[in-house]
Amino acid sequence: MDETLIATINKLQDALAPLGGGSSSPVDLPQITVVGSQSSGKSSVLENIVGRDFLPRGTGIVTRRPLVLQLINRRAGHSNNDLININSTKENGEVSENNADEWGEFLHLPNKKFYNFEEIRNEIVRETDAKTGKNLGISPVPINLRIYSPHVLTLTLVDLPGLTKVPVGDQPKDIERQIRDMIMKFISKPNAIVLSVNAANTDLANSDGLKLAREVDPEGARTIGVLTKVDLMDEGTDVIDILAGRVIPLRFGYVPVINRGQKDIESNKTIREALKDERQFFENHPSYRAKAQFCGTPYLAKKLNGILLHHIKGTLPDIKMRIEHSLKKYQQELTLLGPEMAESPASIALSMITQFTKDYNGILDGESKELSSQELSGGARISFVFHEIFKNGINALDPFDQIKDADIRTIMHNTSGSAPSLFVGTQAFEVLVKQQIRRMEEPSIRCINLIFDELVRILSQIISQPQYSRYPALKELLSQQFIQFLRDELVPTNNFVVDIIKSEETYVNTAHPDLLKGSQAMQIVEEKFHPQPQVPVDPKTGKPLPPTQAQKQQQQHPQEQKDDNPNGFFGGFFSSKNKKRLQSMEAPPPVLRATGTMTERETMETEVIKLLISSYYNIVKRTVADIVPKAIMLKLIVRSKDEIQKELLQKMYSHPDLEDLVKENEMTIQKRKECLRMVEVLKNASEIVSSV
């Protein structure tokens, strides 16, 4: 069972390898990531765990791409467990260690087995250069290497470039930052176990590997320390304090190991021999003797295997969920992007027009899928324009902004012609009301324009959806044609609404049931000017006085009712002082204006007309506020809903450049490729996980 768990993660690593190990992968796999400064002995630790030389060596940055190293324990296939020389080559006069039970396979070279570990090293160098070039740059795309051997424990490690401070040769100037960023991408994932390799003969507090590990894991909960070069420490010093967790404690503790020195490598000392020497060193060293079974590479491999297994068991359910979740997300995105263009241009245009019509009607009717709780949209905004903006705009019109009392007085005289009127003239009322009704035309036209803007806004809302951006040229044409169609519809709508206002203006319905009757108006004004006399009260008793006394009291303050205004309507145009002018009877001036104070009768008549204008104007306001939105609805909104599909089909379906218009947007093509790759990778991963 344990083996299958690690094998599952290995398969997942291979499946997700095309996505790179960086942040682009949607699934965070449990893996042991190896960090440490350059020359801290990272490569040697890994080779000791594998038991074979296979990593590139040299000065400067050797590891320049992450190496995902999957070790698979495989029982020896031969009865005599001797080393069988596959290539039967002699290396420096000795039989090579290459044999039929140990081999490596690269993910980028499927079905090719490397029995010669020297070739594995060359392939790593070649594949690194292929991605990073010769100038020692780095790349985050991992190399996946699988090693099958009876001498390894099933384990997966990610070897990362060593931390470096100074660029060498023609390396990029910011190489330190680049490496640091790459390492951080790997180790900051919560499922990464950090294997921090530190040289024991330098101060642990200065260790770059530990410093980075502490940044992402301050508690030391997922960091394990490896101390290399224990044999190179000064006489009388040891790492017992570190191992006991007294210096920088880590949850998984530290494991001391001994690697081959440069001299051992040059003298072709095999790793098997080196491991033997390592064991002897710890067993015979006075400081480590008591704890020898917790020291050395074999213990490190066993410990890593245990940690990884435990970690995988804990995270597998979450990994399953993440894979399914990501797969669903990319499949949905793929559905939105649509399949690659297999349809004819005409059918693409047809489906876009149909979709647009459906979306347009849906938004107007409030049946849109993406109904927002944050703001009003579509039909709701149109309703707001009708019932808030337009209605309030009409109600804000006040006829008496423009009609002054003097104007009413002049019009009354003008409409009564040569004979001064005996009664309030209906004509004066009509002339004034018609002038004011005309003012409603402007807000009504403004309302049409606001609705036009709202319909264009709905258009933008619809075509900003991802499925429309697939064919940018076709989307552009659809947008133009829709706006053109609305502009064409504006003309009859404007005419219709103007006619409605004109019809109100043309015929003033004085028989309207809600209109204040002339007699009522007269009565209201009469009461205002001549209020009914109060019954006089005796100030002492508070009781009404008898009629005779009341008359006496009234006679003391007789009401002056003099209708003969010496100034008259023309304000005493001819001054009575200038008798000569009166006698000569001069012709009236070219412009005659009504001046002078109004008589009480004129004032009362003016008030009556004002009451009637106010009453009728309110009736018209109500009618216009009700009927103009209906007219716009009929002529513009409903018509656009009913006719837009037919209109777009006529204009777009037979468009001469339809072939060019349905060319896909570059970004869509790129996105689809990306999604297809993701879906394929994640499907693969999903199958792997569901088998556990």
Is 12 in contact with 690 (CB distance < 8 Å)?
A: no
Of the candidate ranges 58-72, 275-289, 659-673, 677-691, the one whose mean pLDDT is the lowest: 659-673
Of the candidate ranges 329-333, 605-609, 623-627, 665-669, the one whose mean pLDDT is the lowest: 665-669
Percentage above 90 pLDDT, the chain: 17
Q: Read off the pLDDT of each residue in 312-317 and give the average, rounded to a whole number.
A: 84
pLDDT digits 0-9 by tens, 183-234: 888 898 888 899 999 998 888 888 888 888 999 999 888 999 999 999 888 8
pLDDT digits 0-9 by tens, 346-394: 777 888 888 889 888 888 887 766 655 556 767 788 889 998 999 999 8
For residue 238, which amino acid is it? Answer: D
Residue entry with tokens 């245990």:
306
Quick one: tokens of 434?
Answer: 């018609």
CA 408 to chain centre: 61
DSSP result, 132-159: HTTTT----PPEEEEEEETTS-SEEEEE
Of the candidate ranges 174-188, 318-332, 523-537, the one whose mean pLDDT is the lowest: 523-537
Residue (of 16, 241, 44) closest to 141 by Cα position: 16
Residue entry with tokens 């403004």:
446
CA 280, 306, 34 angle in degrees (round to 5)? 75
How far, in Å, CA of 600 to CA of 1, rounded? 112
CA distances in angstroms from 40 to 186, 208, 397, listed in the order given: 19, 10, 86
Distant-in-sequence, close-in-space partners of 455: CB < 8 Å, separation ≥ 6 = 486, 636, 637, 640
Q: Do domains 32-75+101-295 and 345-365+379-530+594-663 have the same CATH topology?
A: no
**180, containing H or E segment:** helix 175-187
Is 352 in contact with 478 (CB distance < 8 Å)?
A: yes
Of the CATH numbers 3.40.50.11030, 3.40.50.300, 2.170.8.10, 3.40.50.80, which one belongs to the domain with range 32-75+101-295? Answer: 3.40.50.300
Q: What is the DSSP letter of 82?
A: P
Residue (of 186, 152, 198) closest to 66 by Cα position: 186
Residue (of 404, 495, 481) closest to 445 by Cα position: 495
Top-confidence residue, 654 or 450? 450
Q: Is the pLDDT of residue 86 over 60?
A: no
Q: Read off the pLDDT of each residue in 303-308 and give the average, rounded to a whole number.
A: 88
Residue (of 357, 373, 354) closest to 365 by Cα position: 357
Look at residue 560 in the predicted model and tell me its pLDDT.
Answer: 44
Q: Per residue in 14-31, is it b (16+ CB within 10 Å) or e — as a string? A: bbbbebebeeebbbbbbb
How far, in Å, CA of 68 to CA of 488, rounded? 66
- Checking phi first, is residue 343 left (phi over 0); if not, alpha (psi -120 to 50) or beta? beta
Top-confidence residue, 374 or 141? 141
Q: Is the pLDDT of residue 549 over 70?
A: no
Q: Is the pLDDT of residue 647 over 80?
A: yes
Binning pLDDT at 50, 70 and 90, where does residue 570 land?
A: low
Residue (of 155, 144, 152) closest to 108 by Cα position: 144
CA distances in angstroms from 254 to 145, 203, 224, 646, listed in the order given: 26, 15, 6, 76
Q: Is residue 254 exposed (0-12), middle (13-18) or buried (19+ Cβ within 10 Å)?
A: buried
- CATH for 345-365+379-530+594-663? 1.20.120.1240
Look at residue 555 in the predicted model and tell me its pLDDT.
Answer: 54
Residue entry with tokens 């294997």:
195
Look at residue 547 in the predicted model and tell me its pLDDT.
Answer: 65
Quick one: tokens of 554?
Answer: 């009234």
How far, in Å, CA of 560 to CA of 365, rounded? 68
Q: Where are the domains of the chain?
A: 32-75+101-295, 345-365+379-530+594-663
Look at residue 91 in the predicted model and tell me its pLDDT.
Answer: 47
